[in-house]
């Protein structure tokens, strides 16, 4: 696992008005937007887009109005299998920590990989950036990228609902979180914590005085939040990556 970079993913998929696909069609990924954060330098070092040609659906007029992508655009794209291979080969997606604004992007990849038999292209170290942002800012979980950017006085760059631009702007939000909440310490720690039952394997973190001590999943080491985020929470803490029930969790 590479600990010095973080991959932000935002996808666009075929869609229809009122979410009603024609008979025989279903949502398919048509664009994979990505941005790579250099955690040490705290900059966005790269951004890009991979257009994907859908196999069982067409780009509707509604989809074009939303994303600006046309059927002609995606016809020039690569297959979903090729796109996943590009992510792994060119951008080390299976070796990087990664995240997206919510679970939609990850769920789409899971379902499309399962349906097509394509190998899942990402590592298991996933962070739901929308949830993390909402918790740290004591806001409702459902905050949109648009409202989060406005709250941070960050100007959206590019075209909304294009994967390449959404990923880049989400990366700017996460970079702001890294800087404000000292998350670079957490990001560096995630990949090396595999067996937290052995204290010798635990990399000590410096607690953020505003948020308390970091919580990590006992099973896979994923960052779950900080102690003050769970002050009034009495239920089980389930890891979003490996689904492990952490009970009281381990605090380091």
Which letter does DSSP use for residue 150 in this model?
Answer: H
Please count the other Cβ atoms lying within 10 Å of the Cβ belonging to residue 100: 27
Report which of 77, 65, 97, 95 is spatially closest to residue 30, judged by C-alpha positions: 77
CATH number of 2-184: 3.30.420.10
Question: Taking the C-alpha atoms of 84, 186, 157 and 47 in order, what is their torsion angle to the nearest 10 degrees?
Answer: -30
> What are the strands of the beta sheet with 96-100, ordered from one edge?
43-51, 29-38, 2-13, 96-100, 126-128
Tokens 């995606």 belong to residue: 74
**In the chain, what percentage of residues exceed pLDDT 90?**
61
Q: pLDDT band at 142, cuts 50/70/90?
A: confident
Q: pLDDT band at 212, cuts 50/70/90?
A: low
Average pLDDT value for residue range 104-124: 95
Report how far residue 135's alpha carbon sits from residue 118's, in angstroms, rounded to the nearest whole number: 34
Asked if pLDDT for residue 159 goes beyond 60, the answer is yes
Spans of all domains in the chain: 2-184, 193-251
């Amino acid at each position: 696992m590479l600990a010095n970079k973080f991959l932000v993913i935002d996808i666009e998929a075929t869609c229809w008005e009122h979410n009603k696909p024609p008979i025989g069609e279903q949502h398919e990924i048509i664009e994979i937007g990505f941005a790579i954060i250099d955690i040490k330098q705290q900059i966005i070092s790269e951004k890009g887009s991979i257009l994907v040609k859908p196999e069982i659906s067409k780009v509707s007029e509604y989809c074009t109005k939303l994303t600006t992508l046309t059927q002609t655009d995606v016809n020039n794209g690569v297959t979903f299998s090729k796109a996943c291979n590009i992510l792994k080969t060119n951008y080390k997606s299976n070796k990087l920590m990664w995240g997206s604004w919510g679970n939609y992007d990850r769920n789409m990849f899971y379902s499309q990989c399962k349906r097509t038999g394509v190998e899942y292209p990402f590592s298991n170290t996933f962070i739901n950036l929308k949830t993390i942002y909402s918790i740290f800012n004591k806001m409702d979980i459902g905050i949109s990228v648009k409202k989060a950017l406005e709250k941070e006085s960050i100007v959206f760059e590019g075209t909304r609902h294009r994967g390449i631009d959404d990923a880049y702007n989400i990366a700017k939000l996460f970079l702001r979180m890294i800087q404000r909440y000292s998350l670079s310490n957490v990001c560096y720690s995630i990949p090396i914590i595999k067996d937290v039952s052995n204290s010798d394997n635990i990399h000590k973190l410096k607690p953020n005085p505003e948020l308390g001590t970091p919580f990590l999943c006992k099973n896979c080491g994923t960052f779950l939040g900080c102690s003050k985020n769970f002050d009034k929470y009495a239920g089980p803490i389930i890891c979003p990556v490996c689904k492990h029930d952490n009970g009281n969790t381990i605090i380091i």
